[in-house]
Amino acid sequence: MKFISEVSSNHSRDLDRCLEFIDVSAEIGCWGVKFQLFEVTKLFSSEALRIKPELLNRQDWELPVDFLPILAERAKTRGIKFGCTPFHLEAVEDLKDHVDFFKVASYELLWLELVKACAATGLPLLVSTGMATLEEIQNVVTVTEGLEDFALLHCTSSYPTPPNQANLRAIDTIRRATGRAVGWSDHTVSPIVIYRAVTHWDAAYVEFHLDLDGSGDEFRTGHCWLPEQIKPIIEDVSQLVKIDGDGIKQPAPSELADRDWRADPSDGLRPLIATRRLLDCK
């Protein structure tokens, strides 16, 4: 089970802040940290920008391309995987020599050309499935055939998501329908949702939106976790996974010393006769 922090647009185009996101993600126990690479004028159509010119304000959220090698090196130093979501085809080219994995966002799930471009790099790929139908998800699976390290993330693309709309049961539905590993991309900021996704529905990944201090541009929307909120959950889940074990029914290491003190089948007395003979020799 792997946790991935989503920096999204909370980095403020500040390199030091970006590096701190990587450091904090490593410190709280994440397997990976993920950024986004987009250009607003390549993200929205001219019609959308004309009707909603305020969308251009999101240019303040664009990650500078020249940050990429620096961020990749910091992630490597901290022992954490570095990933990114491309939102246009050129971004795939910009990223492929720096990232450890790609992620395709729910809003881009229908754009199979982008999915194929990510898959063609041979790097691990995650695809979020918010708003999608099973048929649309199957189309993604089809165009990624042959990519060994590929997983889907169930999510509900509302920010924040009411916990009663998480529909975690869909994790199993998607897994059965596609035969692929499935995780959970969280927008609920609800501990119980994450615990349930992992312990009951066996989510392979948990992606969550992270902010460092409540000052990130997306924090006010209400779908971002703070480090002190998510760290104990990551620690708990790590323990829960250990508690679940591997499912093989065999003596645990802590039981081995007592096996010889079980009742012998010949007379029902403890310990086993072989053990009694050893005791007689003492």
Beta strands 181-186 and 150-154, pairing class: parallel
Print pLDDT tens along the chain (282 aa).
899 999 999 999 999 999 999 999 999 999 999 999 999 999 999 999 999 999 999 899 999 999 999 999 999 999 999 999 999 999 999 999 999 999 999 999 999 999 999 999 999 999 999 999 999 999 999 999 999 999 999 999 999 999 999 999 999 999 999 999 999 999 999 999 999 999 999 999 999 999 999 999 999 999 999 999 999 999 999 888 788 888 899 999 999 999 999 999 999 999 999 999 998 887
CA 218 to centroid of chain Cα atoms:
19
Q: Are 201 and 176 in contact (CB under 8 A)?
A: no
Residue 282: the pLDDT is: 72
Distance CA 254, CA 171 (A): 35
All domains of the chain, ordered by start, with CATH?
2-244 (3.20.20.70), 251-282 (no CATH)
Torsion, Cα 160 163 166 167, to 10 degrees, reads: -160
Structure-token pair, residue 204: 């392979």
- Taking CA atoms, 118 is separated from 29, 45, 70, 85, 91, in Å, by 27, 22, 21, 10, 10
pTM of the entire predicted model: 0.91
Q: Are 151 and 126 in contact (CB under 8 A)?
A: yes
